Amino acid sequence: MRIAIIGTGYVGLVSGACFSDFGHDVICVDKDAGKIAALDDNVMPIFEPGLDSLVARNVAGRRLSFTTDLASAVGQAEAIFIAVGTPSRRGDGHADLSYVYDAAREIAAALVGPVVIVTKSTVPVGTGDEVERIVREIAEAPAWVVSNPEFLREGAAIEDFKHPDRIVIGAEDPHAEDVMRELYRPLYLNKAPLLVTSRRTAELIKYAANAFLATKITFINEIADLCEAVGGDVQDVARGIGLDGRIGAKFLHAGPGYGGSCFPKDTLALLKTAEDAAAPLRIVEAVVKVNDTRKRAMGRKVIQAMGGDARGKTVTLLGLTFKPNTDDMRDAPSIAIVQALEDAGVTVRGYDPEGTEQARPLLPNVTLLDNPYDAAEGADAVVLVTEWDVLRALDLDRLAARMKGSVLVDLRNIYPREEAEEAGLQWHGVGRPDPN
Ligand code: NAD
């Protein structure tokens, strides 16, 4: 099938590369000419494991191409995916749908034949109705609008796209449903469950899933605080509850609070939907508040670990992206932690294996180094923020030798306390109280 994908970011590029790998004929569109020029030179605009070879293979097979010319891409397509950003609207937390509606207008103006338009961006309930209204108003050719939210995780995006837990399709029309089934046929032959719902329900499923996962993380983070206060070990609590099949072990890792390009903005947008509908989601409201407070509280935790006096001290953050295996810095906890430390008069240094370029404009006062040991030079404390593989097996003796002080704040509970202490470091984890 001939597919056009509007928006060649983390979701659009991975979806386009994977659909082309299934044998579809895909053209990815972006208005960022630099991004398209880089892709034409087989330079990936994002870091995602395995993406460069997947793209190269399908470009060579002539199933995947890139353009800035939306009209020509749309003119040839049988299905058009909208995969543009839906960030938080400045000031009020509503999803900013201007990119989605702009794309819908541009698509509508370029339509020449019947087509299925698929919203893959995460959009509030009712957005599909508005996209349909826009398209009907402008386009002469018939078009069906479908919701097909994406659940891939950055860092494991290709595996997630090719082996999804489920595919959700919100379609109001049997023809549109047939086209979607055809598009995803290679996947459901592999037994990926395909759930067909109304368009509004599909839109809600995506937000409900993200809000639930954010709740699970926030729940275990609060249990971690309780463990610290009363003397329990959150790792054991998480294992003890996670082995219960009704609860499940995933998303029960205590840490610095969730961040990233989805959970923060999606929980806020869901709250706005609920507020507008006068159907408040009080649990999600609490999750958002607790998580916001937590990220800055991690800065205070580091200061406390250094004895409470921060001014003039130097702290090194290891891992800056919101999670490993991505260069994405959007709403990363490191940003709030740096802010809290700098506000207290701390000089911050940092290291990230892939996120340096994206981190630089967001953390302008942080000195970014090329390896963790150089970053630790002269530090009073080192903070492990993001659990990249290269940061899971640090030589702690070497790290300690480069530091001025001896505090290691392990916000991901990676290192055993004994190992850190053997290297002469004072280890502080999350939800794991000091032994005395
Ligand atoms: P992104 O910012 O990486 O990419 C969006 C791209 O769209 C940008 O390259 C931008 O230049 C382009 N664009 C915007 N308007 C355009 C237009 N009119 N024509 C052509 N290109 C246009 O965003 P992303 O992270 O890929 O997210 C896209 C959507 O998918 C969001 O709604 C997000 O919530 C959702 N989502 C993201 C993830 C994730 O892990 N990143 C996972 C699931 C769902």
10-residue mean pLDDT series, the chain (436 residues): 98 98 98 98 96 98 98 96 96 94 98 96 98 96 97 97 97 96 89 94 98 98 97 97 98 97 97 97 98 95 95 97 96 97 97 98 98 98 98 98 98 97 98 79
Residue of 84, 263, 267 to test ligand 1 pocket, by largest number of atoms within 8 Å of CB? 84
Burial 90-112 (b: 16+ CB within 10 A, else e): eeebbbbbebbbebbbbbbebbe
Residue 16 is predicted with a pLDDT of 98
Closest ligand 1 atom, CA of 46?
3
Question: Could you tell me the pTM of the whole model?
Answer: 0.96
pLDDT computed for residue 153 by the predictor: 96
Residues of the chain with CATH 3.40.50.720: 2-197, 294-428
Cβ atoms within 10 Å of 425's Cβ, excluding its own: 23
| Predicted confidence (pLDDT) per residue in 106-124, tens digit | 999 999 999 999 999 999 9
The 10s digit of each residue's pLDDT in 217-232 is 999 999 999 999 999 9
Place of tokens 């390896």: 371
**Nearest atom, ligand 1, residue 122 CA:** 32
Atom 20 of ligand 1, residue of closest alpha carbon:
30
Q: Which CATH class is domain 207-288?
A: mainly alpha
Pocket of ligand 1 (CB under 6 A): 6-12, 29-32, 35, 70, 83-86, 99, 102-103, 106, 121-122, 150, 152, 154, 261-262
CA 83 to centroid of ligand 1, rounded, Å: 5
294-428: CATH number: 3.40.50.720
pLDDT of residue 360: 98
CATH 3.90.1300.10 is the classification of domain 2-197: no
What pLDDT score does 436 carry?
A: 60
pLDDT at 190: 75
H/E stretch holding 265 reads helix 263-276
Among 11, 48, 266, which is best to mutate for testing ligand 1, by the most ligand atoms less than 8 A from CB? Answer: 11
Ligand 1 pocket test: pick from 5, 14, 30 the residue with the most ligand atoms within 8 Å of its Cβ: 30
H or E stretch including 234?
helix 234-242
Among candidate residues 18, 28, 227, 262, the one labeled active-site is: 262
C-alpha 354/C-alpha 370 separation (Å) is 10
